[in-house]
Amino acid sequence: MLDRPVRLRFAPAPTGMMHLGNIRTALMNALYATQHRGTFIMRIEDTDADRNYDPNAEHIRADLAWLGLHYAEGPGIGGPHAPYFQSQRTELYAQKLTELRDTNKIYRCFCTEEELERKRERQRALKLPPRYDRTCFHRTEADIAALLATNTPFVWRLAIDHARVVTITDLARKSVTFEMKHFSDFPLTRQDGSFTFLFANCVDDIDMAITHVFRGEEHLSNTACQTALYEAFGMPLPIFWHMPLLCNNDGKKLSKRDFGFSLRDLRDAGFLPQAILNYLAIIGSSYEHEIMDFTALTQTINFDHLHTAGRITYDVDKFHWVNRKWIERLSPTELLDACMPFLVHHYPDATYADTTRLTAALQIVRPEMNTLIDAAGLLDYFFKKPENTKTAALQHLTIEELQALAASIAPHVAQIANPNTVGDTLKTIAREKALSSKHLFWFIRLALTGRHMGPSMHELLTIIGSQEAAVRIEIFLDQFTQH
């Protein structure tokens, strides 16, 4: 039983766009914190200035807000452990490094990268694991003083107790044991004096009283090194969860080549934020009721019974299904608001559309939508008249058959354009002219939409409006009556 307040952090690096792995990590931290009445924190690991794609983490903050993931401490909010940018915390890192130096837990390493690479190559040739051989650990004080006198660059390394065996608590695996003899004395600084990810990350977690660290499976080896740092500082270890990696159908870790890898891709494709969180929360598990909002997820997910596999498969079809279910849940007004950016992008005049008719139109095509962007294709006839309809018609009927249909319809355009009389009118024409009722309905649908399939005739005319429908039918008939 934990004897201190639960505190979890999401610590992204602003070196690229938010992707599925980032989002899932943030989500699981937020869910656990909420479930245990703890604190969800965001901290920005921005020490790599050359790759800082998102200064001030503005995109990350906006993405989390769009997803509905709200942190209690972090950038833009502040908190008792501010600042929440690593680039602004170097004074603390320097203090903690001095603390380790004063207790003889670290030593200077003057080996160049070229020397280290030659040693690694030699070890690999001998089929040995590539590890630092502690050359600088054994240097004399005189040797060190001489190197410092010539301004030889160095890094600080942690002196690991290689006789130690440490055990961490992992929510999925329950316990994981590391024999420290298998790990190198790792660097805490770089030659330019900056601090490594491992060191800054650990110092921040200690300073911010983080009780649980949730991150990807690929960080498991880092955890062994960080346990050595926790011990060096005499601090209790957090509880970990090394989350399964998200993989594509080929079993490979998701990358930029995979659909939906980045949050921007998903937004542009018309995925709802609720669906994204829902899918990422249930992926790799089985639930009786799979469609859940954040509150339901908090009440349902059992962190005592987690997936123990190292990887789980990202199923695009299932993701689409979840998104479709969330589209079904939206109110008519919510659906209109959600679809409008996509409609305006494809049809600028959508800004001035009759919202009453457009709302009704979206209700009609909603069952066919997997993502919001589908609305643009499903409702193209709402915003523009169909083109190349004669060519499309001639692919199914002869010119003589089409002329006969046109001649029969021409006197009844007003009745056909009326959603309340269209059905009876077409059936009467079919009976009196001995024409195929199926062909007549198909003919009018093609005139109105340029398509062979779609909503019912009544729904179609309601969407388009009787006046516009009459104009489209007349234009279509002219192509055959003038032949």
Q: Which residues are identified as catalytic? A: 256
Count of positions (residues) in the chain: 483
Q: Let me know: does 308 contact 173? Beta carbons within 8 Å.
A: yes
Q: Which residues of 2-12 are buried (b: 16+ CB within 10 A; e: fewer)?
A: eeeebbbbbbb
Q: Let me know: does 132 contact 157? Beta carbons within 8 Å.
A: yes
For tokens 């490979």, name the residue. 252
For tokens 């005049």, name the residue. 349
What span, in angstroms and rounded, lies between the C-alpha atoms of 99 and 329?
56
Residue 158, judged by CB atoms within 10 A of its CB (0-12, 13-18, 19+), counts as buried
Instruction: Write the DSSP symbol of residue 340.
Output: H
Instruction: Write the DSSP symbol of residue 466.
Output: H
Instruction: Write the DSSP symbol of residue 56.
Output: G
Q: Let me know: does 395 contact 389? Beta carbons within 8 Å.
A: no
- Which 3 state secondary structure label does DSSP give 54? coil
Q: Let me know: does 341 contact 66? Beta carbons within 8 Å.
A: no
Q: Directed axis angle between helix 457-464 and helix 437-449, to 10°?
A: 20
List, in order, residues 6 or more apart from 187 with CB less than 8 Å away.
109, 155, 156, 157, 196
The token duo for 187 is 């660097």
List, in order, residues 6 or more apart from 243 with CB less than 8 Å away.
24, 25, 28, 172, 214, 215, 216, 217
Sign of CA dihedral 125, 130, 131, 132: positive
Phi, psi of 352 (to 5 degrees): -105, 10
The token duo for 359 is 């709302």
Q: What is the chain's Cα-based Rg?
A: 32
Q: Strand 311-313 relative to strand 245-247: parallel, antiparallel, unpaired? A: parallel
What span, in angstroms and rounded, lies between the C-alpha atoms of 329 and 322?
11
What span, in angstroms and rounded, lies between the C-alpha atoms of 21 and 260?
11
